[in-house]
Homo-oligomer: A and B are copies of this chain.
């Protein structure tokens, strides 16, 4: 697999699955995993090292609240890490956003929007597409599809 999709809790699956769905549509191999920065720190570290050795090229990590998972992954790899802050508390995801994005110098995490698992899948594919022209072509088509959908919506609304 080329992309590992981690989440801190099984309850994050309905959102994080959207990243997997995008990668599936684009033909990018991937795996969904539940691993916690706080409850399974050893397994998380071990998984990241093993995954990198096995050829994983991009990591996606989704977590809510004090969302440390993406940062914990980034601590153990030099591969690109994409963080998805999740709205899991009464603060609407502001806590997860700041915990994900405000990383210290030298250990970046690429933050997506709150709940932006779909975009995490797209971004992982964009990273891989840097050296994969066929994948890049699929992304360009996907972008064209988005464009078409807006134009169709525009036609509907103008006609309304």
Contacts and interface: CB of A to CB of B under 8 A. Distances in A.
Contacts of A143: 39, 78, 106-107
A104 B8 contact: yes
A131 B2 CA distance: 12
A157 B34 contact: yes
Interface in A100-118: 100-116, 118
Interface string A106-148: 1111111111101110110011111100001001101100110
A75 B39 contact: yes
Question: How many identical chains are in the complex?
Answer: 8
Nearest to A66: B102
A51 interface: no
Given A40-B150, A68-B71, A90-B87, A99 B102 contact: yes
